[in-house]
A and B are shown apart, each in its own frame.
Chain A
Amino acid sequence: KAGVTQTPRYLIKTRGQQVTLSCSPISGHRSVSWYQQTPGQGLQFLFEYFSETQRNKGNFPGRFSGRQFSNSRSEMNVSTLELGDSALYLCASSAETSGKSDTQYFGPGTRLTVL
């Protein structure tokens, strides 16, 4: 099975722009979560989508949004980019067939640099 894929892998934007990141989960996985990783803040949870519905949300401003499509692929959007949004954005998927014991598998991440 192919793993979680994220596109693009690298992105450079300027302040004020918006960006859309894409994540394709492992085939058959229904849950997709997004995380922001920075050297100072560690791994921060953004949100989780399950069967096209946002099931969980972290403590990020409304500039960060996401969605999930019927094929479980997910996108996250960041509007009005700020310098502090520079980070590695990680997507993870899980099958959600075994309940709470399911394992989350991560993609390689998208490195976003905001200038």
Chain B
Amino acid sequence: AQSVAQPEDQVNVAEGNPLTVKCTYSVSGNPYLFWYVQYPNRGLQFLLKYITGDNLVKGSYGFEAEFNKSQTSFHLKKPSALVSDSALYFCAVRDSGTYKYIFGTGTRLKVLA
């Protein structure tokens, strides 16, 4: 079965420091991986996705993600965190058989001023 794991419930980082939100996946076949962000009382907003090609994917708001096939990881990164980046982040993979999107449990990012 396809799955994603977000090992950290919460990540704290100081403003201006680089941030990383971790995601690992388990799929059969080629992975289609996504990152979303959710601000309070809002729906999820798409940040970026990996389909194929370059292992470093660039997305919205200065975020990027690194796809690592050998480690089955798709970590979200940003070189310099902003307080406004504080939100809930979800990693997702699309099941190649059923087409379902499978979401991780979410990681709460807190950027401290």
Give the B-binding residues of A (Cβ under 8 A). Answer: 4, 31, 33, 35, 42-43, 45, 48, 50, 55-56, 88, 90, 92, 100-101, 103-109, 111
Contact with A along B84-111 (1 / 0, CB 8 A): 0000001010101011111101100000
B99 touches A56 (CB 8 A): yes
Size class of B's contact patch? 20 to 34
A74 CB, nearest partner CB in chain B, Å: 15
Query: SS class of chain A's interface: helix, strand, loop or mixed?
Result: strand
Enumerate the 3 nearest inter-chain pairs by beta-carbon distance, A residue then B residue, closest first: A106-B43, A106-B44, A101-B51
Given contacts A31-B99, A43-B106, A55-B98, 19 further A-B contacts (CB under 8 A): A35-B103, A42-B106, A43-B90, A48-B99, A56-B98, A56-B99, A100-B94, A100-B96, A101-B32, A101-B51, A103-B49, A104-B92, A105-B46, A106-B36, A107-B43, A108-B42, A108-B43, A109-B42, A111-B41
